[in-house]
Amino acid sequence: MAAHRIDDTHGAGLQSWLASANHPATDFPIQNLPYGRFTVGDEPGWRIGVAIGDQVLDLQHAGVLDHSDMARLLALAPEQRRVLRRTLSEGLRQGSPKEATFKAALHPQASVRMGMPFDVGDYTDFYTGIHHATTVGKLFRPDNPLLPNYKWVPIGYHGRASTLRVSPDEFKRPMGQLSPGNGAAPTLQPTKRLDHELELGLVIGQPSQQGEPIAIEDAEDHLFGIVLLNDWSARDIQAWEYQPLGPFLSKNFASTLSPWIVTMEALAPYRQAFTRPEGDPAPLPYLDSARNREQGAIDIALEVWVQTAAMRASGHAAERLSRSNFTDAYWTAAQLVTHHTVNGCDLRAGDLLGSGTISGPAPEQGGSLLELTQGGQRPLTLANGETLGFLADGDTIVLRAHCEREGYRRIGFGECRGTVLPR
């Protein structure tokens, strides 16, 4: 798996001739090099760019690519991805003979408009956050929070790609049927229990063939990278509609992606061993490999921030709601790819696999308000005195993520920002 290899492009001492890429707080040092799509001014079409410091490098203008087709880029073989990463790294390093050419292809990120980083074909949402699943399960089944299949099979469902949008996003509060309970008839209303979900999105690169399952040893060859994903949820609509087939209108009204794809190659230094709690069943053989046990988990620190309309009006910055880590997931990225294809389902470049809500083991590490407020029964008190149960009109949720490891540079994912508008 080429994505696991660490080489000189990851070196902590590597510096760029672009000063902003060397700032210790930047999400986008030369060790990262995430991909996205952007436009300048009112020009039609999208350009492919790479984030470096506070700039974006136009890959066609720099002579790195001869096209602007992101699907074609995603479908590159692992070794081709590595060659491209090295070309970018060498061109952006201090002392590079390509400095003048690359410098002429830079645009300030503040001056461009970011688009969806890729055209999403099919969208699958998994349920890998065992702490989220347990906490939510306790709200409905206190004595049996996890169903018997959870520790054996990666749970997922197929979502809707048409309402995926890029950050910064705004969307109207969704409508749906709400049930008052007690056998009374439901009514059509705007949701009263709008929630965020802290997720990561796995971006499929190299496609597979229908009828040909992807072995776990090869699974990450088909993963191009990872984005942040806020899979907004209307909890009251969901409670009424989800049985027996799962969520429908409660989940398909909006999902927000961050604009930069952090590549699997950039994440190589932050791999960790994948372990199960003692006493839990081992994965079935098709979901197990020595490499997945040794390096299947990825240490990605995750954060959720909120800025209410009142905070914004008074000049208050966003306030952090929770922290968690992708290592808290019960299934690895490779296991999700393998399970998705074991029945012969094919994957295409640009398919998106959501991780499901990633929460930590502590109550304050919930990746959703459903967990943090115990279903709205214990609203949070914010620093400005406001209380937060579920999201109000005008509220903004910001997801952030980064990777850190001693001996390596910190890299980040940028922001995934979305704001609720009134119906």
| Torsion of the alpha carbons at 306, 310, 312 and 315, rounded to the nearest 10 | -120
- Please say whether the beta carbons of 81 and 1 come within 8 A: no
Question: Residue 9: which of 82, 63, 65, 97 has the closest Cα?
Answer: 82
Q: According to the model, what pLDDT value does residue 394 have?
A: 98
Query: For residue 281, what is the DSSP state?
Result: P
Question: Residue 224: which of 31, 85, 51 has the closest Cα?
Answer: 85
Average pLDDT rounded to a whole number, residues 190-218 = 98
- Please say whether the beta carbons of 227 and 258 come within 8 A: yes
Q: How many CA atoms lie within 13 A of 29 on its CB side?
A: 23
Average pLDDT rounded to a whole number, residues 222-226 = 98
Question: Residue 328: which of 277, 290, 294 has the closest Cα?
Answer: 277
Question: Residue 354: which of 157, 180, 169 has the closest Cα?
Answer: 157
Q: According to the model, what pLDDT value does residue 2 have?
A: 58
pLDDT-derived band at 160 (thresholds 50, 70, 90) equals very high
Q: According to the model, what pLDDT value does residue 310 have?
A: 96
Q: At residue 339, what are phi and psi to the nearest 5 degrees? A: -65, -35
To which H or E segment does residue 333 belong?
Answer: helix 333-341
User: pLDDT digits over 377-411, tens only?
Assistant: 999 999 999 999 999 999 999 999 999 999 999 99
Interacting residues of 399 by C-beta distance below 8 A, sequence separation 6+: 196, 198, 228, 229, 230, 258, 302, 303, 304, 305, 415, 416, 417
Rounded CA separation 24/404 (Å): 12
Q: Which residues have a catalytic role annotated?
A: 132
Q: If phi over 0 gives left and psi between -120 and 50 gives alpha, with beta otherwise, what is residue 407?
A: left
Tally: H helices and E strands in the chain: 9, 26
Rounded CA separation 74/340 (Å): 19
Interacting residues of 239 by C-beta distance below 8 A, sequence separation 6+: 179
Average pLDDT rounded to a whole number, residues 222-241 = 97
Q: According to the model, what pLDDT value does residue 140 have?
A: 77
Q: According to the model, what pLDDT value does residue 3 have?
A: 61
> pTM above the 0.85 mark?
yes
Question: Residue 334: which of 4, 32, 71, 33 has the closest Cα?
Answer: 4
Q: According to the model, what pLDDT value does residue 109 have?
A: 98
pLDDT, mean over the chain: 96
pLDDT-derived band at 178 (thresholds 50, 70, 90) equals very high
